[in-house]
Structure 1
Amino acid sequence: MQKRPFHLSFAFGAILLFFNFLNGTAMAQTKPKTIRVMTYNIHHGNPPERPGVIDLPAIAAVIKQHTPDLVALQEIDKVTKRTGQVDQLKQLAELTGMFYFFSKGIDFDGGEYGVGILSRFPINRGTRYPLPSKAGLEAEARSLAVVHVTMPNGEGLNFASTHLDLNNEHRMLQIKEINRVIGSKKADVILAGDLNLTSTTPAMKLLEQYFTRSCTENCAPTIPQDNPTEEIDFILLKKGSKMKVISHQVFPNIDASDHLPVMAVYQLP
């Protein structure tokens, strides 16, 4: 058999390699990108079965294990005496290698107590919104933390973390304010947090005028951590978004807090 000249074989191989490269590049460019979102009430870093112990590395380990891009955190202490005057969110950011934003709820024990956000993406801006309560009724001040980030597809995203009141009258006012503040934003919005309500309460129906839960059927409970019975921690996407939820999971058998962490994965357009 006559052999193909070396230079022709080399040229043919180079052309084939080039087209394979182009094909691989095109596939990489069209591969759907995702964003991983977690919400976690960390109980100021205190594992319920270890009274008086503060274990932020355990919280950080949970976050690092599941590699979220954005994390909504609740019940965070900032330089309080209770937790050794540590800026807990800053320390969690250092332990996880993420950016952070804190939003105070109340002054507490020589420091502050509230909610926060960790982000794998640089935070373009962060805003704290105080949430209302009904006049004449005792209430703990609550807030909404909102950051704006740029997602891997180049689009902007508003990500919000909150912890609503136990009292339904306060909660209804707080949800109305949340709908007003972030329900009207033009960019995509994801809201996450400990809402202190279940999916069937009237307050959730009010929230669902603007948002869609990441899980709507057969959703796993999130509290308490050892034998969970209720789902009160949620991740919601503002209606009208082109993003699609592709998975929702509550991670069981984690005792770093009295809540279980929740994660949703969204496919970006």
Structure 2
Amino acid sequence: MKFQFKIIVSLLFLILVAQPLAAQKSGETIKILSYNIYHGENPVNAGEGNIEQIAALIREFQPDLVALQEVDSMTIRTARVYGSKVDLVQKLAELTGYLGYFAKAMDYAEGGYGEGILAKGNGLFETQNLPLPAGGEPRAAAWVTYTLPKGKEIAFAGTHLCHQFEENRIAQVAAVSQRAENQKLPTVWVGDLNFRPESNAYKSIKGPWKDAGALPTPYAPTYGSLENGARIDYVWFDSSKFTLLDYKVLNVPHSDHYPVLVTLQLK
């Protein structure tokens, strides 16, 4: 009888322990891609487009959300590459079956230049204009509220920070991260931030934000050479809401940047 009682107690203990573990493992996963696409042109072969290759990459990895930087919309530059003016985000949306959104940061070459988001299946989109205390090129962040398959909503942003002045980068990081903190949803923000991890702009990021590419993740440059390039493209996530499952820098030659692919799990 005592032996049977011990078995029952042991089974109850295992059930009680297993339930929170199962709940922890049952959180939905989300796959995110961030990519500076060099305005839709192969950086090595001038005049050659890269959109077909980027679309193929997206179809291969099937991210839920894609943030695109250095995006042209209906510019003379796209006409030079593709034969007529092209909205690069909408072209990628057509080639992948995603929803596309272009967030114009500035007028450029008879069209626009800024950020793009591709969302698989749904999305409510907005543009955030970023501060320029030191002057320079206008910058923006593209935002989307995205619904996961089980109905959970998250917020996601992609941006491209100032390449000229650290004062601007610090102010722009503050603007994006503050808006992210104000979200009532689990939030991820990403992009080409034009700074390295040792910079003051990087160190200025406070709060719950975790850099998906920080150690102990193996260091991998995202710009220039994979051997001795710079890590300037990032995925930042709210560490109180997400767990990092996977981080990769993809070795593909379609741009002067490498795409960053991250898989997160909702806690």
Distance 1:234 1:61, change over 3 A: same
Taking the aligned partners of 1:203 and 1:110, their CA distance within structure 2 comes to 33
Structure 1 or 2, whichever has the larger Rg, is 1
**Residue matched to 1:98:** 98
**Residue matched to 2:200:** 202
Q: Which runs of 5+ in 2 are unaligned?
A: 1-21, 80-84
| Mapping for residues 190-269 of structure 1, pairs under 5 Å | 190-217=188-215, 218-224=218-224, 229-241=229-241, 243-252=242-251, 254-269=252-267
Amino acid at match of 2:202: M
Taking the aligned partners of 1:214 and 1:82, their CA distance within structure 2 comes to 34
**Residue matched to 2:109:** 109
Amino acid at match of 2:233: D
Per-residue CA deviations over 1:70-107 (Å, capped at 9, x if unaligned) read 00100010000110110110000110110111101110
Taking the aligned partners of 1:89 and 1:161, their CA distance within structure 2 comes to 13
How far residue 112 of structure 1 moved from its aligned partner, in angstroms, is: 0.1
**Residue matched to 1:58:** 53
CA contact (8 A) 2:221 2:227 kept: no
Asked if residue 71 in structure 1 is aligned to residue 72 in structure 2, the reply is no
CA contact (8 A) 1:45 1:59 kept: no
Task: Please give the TM-score of this superposition, normalised by the length of structure 2.
Answer: 0.84
How far residue 225 of structure 1 moved from its aligned partner, in angstroms, is: 5.4
Asked if residue 174 in structure 1 is aligned to residue 172 in structure 2, the reply is yes
How far residue 40 of structure 1 moved from its aligned partner, in angstroms, is: 0.3
**Residue matched to 1:162:** 159
Asked if residue 141 in structure 1 is aligned to residue 156 in structure 2, the reply is no
CA contact (8 A) 1:153 1:268 kept: no
Match of 1:43 among 35, 38, 47: 38
Distance 1:223 1:190, change over 3 A: same
CA contact (8 A) 1:44 1:54 kept: no
Q: CA RMSD in A?
A: 1.7
How far residue 31 of structure 1 moved from its aligned partner, in angstroms, is: 5.3
**Residue matched to 2:147:** 150
CA contact (8 A) 2:69 2:160 kept: yes
Amino acid at match of 1:106: M
Distance 1:228 1:43, change over 3 A: farther
How far residue 210 of structure 1 moved from its aligned partner, in angstroms, is: 4.0
CA contact (8 A) 1:225 1:257 kept: no
CA contact (8 A) 1:38 1:71 kept: yes
Distance 1:101 1:157, change over 3 A: same
Percentage of matched positions with identical amino acids: 33
- Where 2:182 maps in the other structure, the secondary structure is coil
Amino acid at match of 2:179: V
Distance 1:148 1:219, change over 3 A: same
- Matched length: 236
Taking the aligned partners of 2:97 and 2:148, their CA distance within structure 1 comes to 17
Q: Which runs of 5+ in 1 are unaligned?
A: 1-26
| Runs of 4+ residues over 6 Å off in structure 1 | none
Taking the aligned partners of 1:250 and 1:149, their CA distance within structure 2 comes to 24
CA contact (8 A) 2:220 2:226 kept: no
Taking the aligned partners of 2:89 and 2:36, their CA distance within structure 1 comes to 12
